[in-house]
Amino acid sequence: MLKNLYIYRYRTINFLKTFFSQIILILVSISCIFPLVWMFSAALKTQQTVFTDMSLFPKHPVWNNFVVAWTKANFGVYFFNSLFYTVVVVFGVIFIGSLAAFAFSRFKFPLRNFFYILFMATMMIPIPGSFISLYILLTKLNLINTRIGYILPQINGGLAMTIFMLKTFFDKMPKDLENAAKIDGCNKFRIYLHVALPLAKQAIAVMVIFTALGVWNEYLLAMLVLSSKTLMPLQRGLMVFQGSHMTEYPLLMAGITITIFPIVTIYLLMQKYIIKGVMAGAVKE
Amino acid sequence: MKKSIKYKDIFSSYLFVLPAIILFLVFSLYPIFKVVELSFFEWDGISKFTKFVGFKNFIDVLFSNKIWWKSVLNAFYITLIALTIQNGVALFLAFCCDKDIRGAKAYRVIFYLPPVLSGIVVGLIWNWIYDGSYGFLNHMLTVLGLGQYSRAWLADPKTALMAVALIHIWKGFGWGFIILLAGLQGISRDYYESAKIDGASSFQIFKNITIPLMIPIFFLVSILTILGTMQIYDLIISTTQGGPGYHTEVPITRILTTMTGTSRFGYACAMSLVFGAILLILSIFQLKVSKKIER
């Protein structure tokens, strides 16, 4: 009898715990999603109704806001710029980074460890002001307000992490594979291209996602380097739009929707890998 | 003959790392040295004329720049809130999800949504929610009959910094949650089982098993929170631009204003070196504390 009572009590407490946990989790989830819903809802209102209509989904949604934002507010141009920068930087980071990681892992050459440690050191030590001299350098090289001036520093910015991740991966690659390829007459580059890279597919995929997220969300460098609207990526474009159209909330929110749509889509499709990547990265460290 | 093969081998190996090393030397290493060098000069960024001033920039930043120290204090304030509230919320939610609760996977996806957005986007969205005249927050307060508390949250000196800190929490807690949850789930269930069989209460289990095993992860999360939050800037740029007055200025926005606004490049370099030193001291302090506690 007493035993039953204990079990009963235990079950009730457990139920209450789960119940309240669920309520809290749901409330927090709503607070995570709501600002985005509110943004989207404002993007569907007119300049007049946005300040008075407090409904979550307006009765007469103005889808035209997206067309206006895309064409007249220049977000179409910003979007393709962002896409271009993201593709080029990701390709650059992965190509240059994986080449270096392979060499650091597999070859012996003078100053190998010196350079590797140098790479890792800059990843660990924060240098908050290096953007000042980066700006000066780009001015000297006549790369201010050019695409290449925006791309190269970002490729460099992604290298250390990529080299670190891929080197740890290549270190685990069996030596026999490399030897077999050598006997078949592969040179170093072909071993890298045909043996190492295909094996590292998954690790590379993770680096692609995280680098792409970083480039798509980059702002500081874009602010310092780019001043022509034709060259700006979305994040910079948003601030430029906000600076000159302070209160045009519907168009601004349409612009933000355009900005985050690809990110949110890719995140939802790849969430398993992204969250696993964050978890793995943390626990390993 | 042998020697030439060896040199060929070294040469071809270098071809692999050369692109990375060149980019690194030009865009990472050179800027670091240049910042140090420039911090001893007065320079407007354009003219050929630079004036060597020794430690003058540093002395000025350290001892007579009140706005600078205000910005450092602001960053400290946001960091302190992030460390306590943000990580507290993250830990609490991780505990909620650790018990194989229904929908745990969905919660993980939802909580990590704000962290994948940029500071600019998040700031602009919250700008709209915090808006003084038409914002959703004030609207809700009015609906709830608390209209007298409504205000322009980001423009009011009393609330601006706290409002920014809250946005930062909203953006950041999901990240802490993911890492803490990974840590919790890394604890073998056998420990819990055997403790239960030995008759330990859930509080005892929490205190004697969970907490000690989680300490390395707590420290990882807190050091990354400190370094990340101290260097906050895009959230500030997209919401308050440091205002009202200097109430939400942070070190990076100060450095940016000194550089692009008033064109004092040398002075900005000195600021960033002082700030780098502050970050370094914080990291070392944190490392020492963590080693002491782990013992």
The ipTM estimated for the assembled molecules is: 0.88
Which residues of chain B carry a pLDDT beneath 70? 1-3
A14: pLDDT strictly greater than 60: yes
A1 versus B14: the higher-pLDDT residue is B14
Question: How much is the pTM?
Answer: 0.89
Rounded to a whole number of angstroms, the distance from the CA of A38 to the nearest CA of chain B is 8
Q: Do A155 and B23 touch (CB under 8 A)?
A: yes
Interface test with B, best of A132, A134, A188 (most B CBs within 10 A): A132
Q: What confidence tier does A282 reach under pLDDT thresholds 50, 70, 90?
A: low
Could you give the CA distance from residue A184 to residue B225 in angstroms, rounded to a whole number?
A: 50
Could you give the CA distance from residue A263 to residue A258 in angstroms, rounded to a whole number?
A: 10
Asked if the C-beta of B120 comes within 8 angstroms of chain A's C-beta atoms, the answer is yes
Residue B51, strand partner residues: B42
**Pair of tokens at residue B240:** 């308050």
Residues of A in contact with B182 (CB under 8 A): 278-279, 282-283
pLDDT at A285: 45
Beta carbons within 8 Å of B284's beta carbon, 6+ residues apart: none
State how far the alpha carbon of A270 is from the alpha carbons of A182, A186, A273, B201, in Å.
36, 35, 6, 40
pLDDT at B121: 95
State how far the alpha carbon of B35 is from the alpha carbons of A91, A129, A254, B269, in Å.
30, 7, 40, 5
| pLDDT (tens digit per residue) in A72-116 | 888 999 999 999 999 999 999 999 999 999 999 888 888 888 989
Which of A81, A67, A75, A84 is CA-nearest to residue A238? A75
A284: pLDDT strictly greater than 70: no
CATH assignment of B66-294? 1.10.3720.10
* Mean pLDDT within A198-214: 88
Interface test with B, best of A25, A186, A253 (most B CBs within 10 A): A25
Rounded to a whole number of angstroms, the distance from the CA of B152 to the nearest CA of chain A is 14
Element containing residue B42 per DSSP (H, E): strand B41-42
CB of B269 within 8 A of CB of B43?
no
What does the longest C-alpha to C-alpha distance in chain B come to? 90
Q: What is the CA radius of gyration of chain B?
A: 25
pLDDT at A255: 92
Topology of domain A74-244, per CATH?
Answer: MetI-like fold (1.10.3720)
Residues of B in contact with A134 (CB under 8 A): 27, 31
pLDDT at B87: 93
Rounded to a whole number of angstroms, the distance from the CA of A156 to the nearest CA of chain B is 6
Residues of A in contact with B275 (CB under 8 A): 128-129
Q: Could you tell me where the DSSP H helices lie in chain B?
A: 2-24, 30-38, 56-63, 66-81, 87-98, 104-111, 113-116, 119-130, 136-143, 160-185, 189-197, 202-205, 211-230, 234-239, 251-256, 265-294
Residue of A nearest to B128 (CA): A249
A3: pLDDT strictly greater than 80: no
How many other CB atoms are found less than 10 A from the CB of residue A141? 13
Q: Do A130 and B280 touch (CB under 8 A)?
A: no
Residues of A in contact with B181 (CB under 8 A): 279
Q: Do A128 and B121 touch (CB under 8 A)?
A: no
pLDDT at A33: 94
* Inter-chain Cβ pairs, chain A and chain B, closer than 8 A: 252
